[in-house]
Amino acid sequence: MTFGTIVALFSAMVVLASIPSVSVLAVSTRSATSGFIHGVFTTIGIVVGDIIFIIIAIWGLSLLAETMGSLFVLIKYLGGAYLMLLGIGLCRSKSQEVETQEVIETSLLSSFLTGLFITLGDQKATLFYLGFFPAFLDLSKVSYFDTSIIIAITTVAVSGVKLGYAFMADRARLLISSKTRKGINIAAGCVMIAVGVFLVTKT
């Protein structure tokens, strides 16, 4: 990989990660309702899922992809159900009059799994990367070192953009009065439920 290729790939990944999507909604929602650190862990889950798909796509592990086909379907349904439960929990959460930095208590593992399930629930991501990477490099000549560079580029580009969304959502949360937070939690819960339904019903 040349320096020009690295810059071009990084720029393309930043643009793609910046486009409003299900993952952006998830990161923003977790950060707005539970704090910036949860947006960070949701982002980590998304990046881990992307790395898994990138490795499968780059090394042409079609057999692995076929073998995991049924597992991806299971992950899709489990992930969808999991996100719907999280959404229901947000809708039912009580807004207490305590302080402006009030958050919904939840585990960091829960946020990580949210990002991971959203990514792995879209098994077509492998096909996307198979069609995306050839525009920048010859997949038949990719070395282990090239793969590590691509993973690094993806990690920096995707996490940088998603963390930006998480930070803005967290800052917005601090400006919201406690009186309106219940409505925000319900709206965020509906978003999570919608994301879960989307994962389960998509063909």
The alpha-carbon radius of gyration of the chain (Å, integer) is 18
Separation between Cα atoms, residue 172 and residue 139, nearest integer Å:
42
Q: State pTM to two decimals.
A: 0.69
Dihedral sign for Cα 165, 171, 176, 178, please.
Answer: positive
State the CB neighbour count (10 A cutoff) for residue 158: 22
On whether the CB atoms of residues 44 and 115 are closer than 8 A, the answer is yes
Of 70, 57, 49, give the one whose Cα is nearest residue 114: 49
**Could you read off the pLDDT tens digit of each residue along the chain, which spans 203 residues?**
788 888 988 988 888 888 777 788 889 888 888 889 999 999 999 999 999 888 877 776 545 555 556 666 776 677 678 778 877 876 776 544 434 344 455 688 888 988 888 888 766 666 677 667 777 777 677 788 888 999 999 999 999 999 999 999 888 776 655 556 666 667 767 876 876 787 677 65
